[in-house]
Amino acid sequence: MKLNKFVVIFLVINFFILTSCSQSHDVAVVGGSDNSEKMLNSIEVYDPTAGTFSVVPSTMSTGRMTATATTLGNNTVLIAGGQGSGALNSAEIYQPLNNNIALTAGNMNHPRVAHTATFLDPAVVSGSLSGQVLITGGDAFSTIGTAELYNTATNLFSNTGNMSIARRQHTATLISHCGCAADGSVLITGGYDNQSNVLASAELYNPTTQVFTPVGNLLSPRFRHTATLLNDGTVLITGGASQMAAKPGNINPALNSAEIYSPKTGKFTQAKGVMSSYREGHAASLLQDGTVLITGGQDNHFLIENSAELYNPTTSTFTAITNSCAGSPPPTGCMTSSRDFHISQTLDDGRVLIAGGVNSQFSVIASAEIYNPANKTFNTTGSMSTPRDGAAACLIIK
């Protein structure tokens, strides 16, 4: 019996769902820096059932901060670039099942810090680049916006088309389920260039042609912002900073605005509401009900927040989980610690792990907490063994 392509896609997706749900995911937290500004070469794994972290026995070849950690289709993790003694062009593969960490067969073509790495998921991307990793920007203040591909079959990197402009601290989002021609492309937004100009430009990478094409500009220049793919295929952009230097009166140029990118129109539009706080260096995680949890970051007075809020895509508005997070201990609905440059990862059961970062005393912290969407509360969980900020995180199966 010959199956049409829609039946095949349905079977593949259902196989993926069944196999994914049959094994629970842990969270790998990779590298970062500690309070002495030492770049860390260690990895810790969070077990959501036990509520504890354990240190991986093997270590990376070098300490890395603002590296990327990307889960590949074979449950290995590509760890690329980052800040060591300088910008790094090396990369390594972490194998969670045997705790092995080994350098890739070749280095990246460019040293990269505060870059992005996007898995070109075969469920979304077809063609020769399916299953590869797109790595963009962060290339040591190059005058061009270089990008490259990691090939899981060869364990090597190769150049691909350049972005229209050099970028650091930008975002990259794989477009999917929009039901439009942009499905399978990668949206790049904002960041800053090699002259420290904060960017409003955005572009799309087409894996078929390996070409970046400019799309409509953001409504505000942004770096240290977030980009979250929503369930309808649009992308939520939140916060960030609009310029590098402080504004007059020592005001941090953090933003409270948000915008929505529509892959169908190729345009950005203002969200109907603004966030309850100005935020840059914050985190955003998509929840199972389609809302987005926004946590922490620095506000417009350089204060590091312990507040959190939820974005509702139906109304396009934000709601603070609680109105004020002042006091010790903080009120219900506030994080147990203020955090900037932390990690936020949604777990299989719908809860969210939040760990590390820098607190309101500008100390790097090891503490972690769990957000429970059922009652909108944050509760402490086991701490990491080492304080970390600028770490990377990804889901793995142990």
Check whether 393 has a pLDDT greater than 90. Answer: yes
DSSP 218: P
Q: What is the pLDDT of residues 66-114, one digit of tens each?
A: 999 999 999 999 999 999 999 999 999 999 999 999 999 999 999 999 9
Amino acid 12: pLDDT:
36
- Pick the range with the lowest mean pLDDT from 12-21, 56-65, 259-268, 359-368: 12-21
Amino acid 295: pLDDT:
98
Amino acid 141: pLDDT:
66
What is the DSSP track for 64-106? -BS-EEEE-TTS-EEEE--BSSSBB--EEEEETTTTEEEE-SS
Looking at the chain, list the stretches that DSSP marks H as alpha helix, in order from N- to C-terminal side: 5-22
Check whether 364 has a pLDDT greater than 70. Answer: yes
67: tokens are 């590296």
Amino acid 155: pLDDT:
98
Average pLDDT, the chain: 93
CA dihedral over 100, 101, 102, 108, signed as positive or negative: positive
CA dihedral 397, 355, 187, 267 (to 10 degrees): 130
- Pick the range with the lowest mean pLDDT from 30-44, 127-141, 360-374: 127-141
Dist CA 159 CA 136 (whole Å)? 10
- Pick the range with the lowest mean pLDDT from 37-41, 180-184, 203-207: 180-184
Q: pLDDT band at residue 140, thresholds of 50, 70 and 90?
A: low
Q: What is the pLDDT of residues 216-235, one digit of tens each?
A: 899 999 999 999 999 999 99
Q: How many CA atoms lie within 13 A of 112 on its CB side?
A: 30
Dist CA 355 CA 378 (whole Å)? 12
113: tokens are 């810090």
* Residue that is written with structure tokens 């409504």 in the block: 219
300: tokens are 């417009």
Check whether 9 has a pLDDT greater than 70. Answer: no
> Do the bridges between strand 91-95 and strand 77-80 make them parallel or antiparallel, or are there none, so unpaired?
antiparallel
Check whether 20 has a pLDDT greater than 90. Answer: no
Predicted structure pTM score: 0.93
Nearest Cα residue to 93 out of 124, 121, 69, 113: 69
Amino acid 190: pLDDT:
98
Nearest Cα residue to 346 out of 116, 70, 117, 48: 48
Nearest Cα residue to 342 out of 130, 32, 36: 32
Amino acid 250: pLDDT:
84
Mean pLDDT to the nearest integer, 12-26: 52
Q: Are 91 and 112 in contact (CB under 8 A)?
A: no
308: tokens are 């959190």
Q: Are 260 and 292 in contact (CB under 8 A)?
A: no
Q: What is the pLDDT of residues 161-174, one digit of tens each?
A: 999 999 999 999 99
Mean pLDDT to the nearest integer, 39-44: 98
Q: Are 282 and 294 in contact (CB under 8 A)?
A: yes
Q: What is the pLDDT of residues 234-272, one digit of tens each?
A: 999 999 999 998 888 888 999 999 999 999 999 999 999
Nearest Cα residue to 358 out of 392, 328, 388: 388
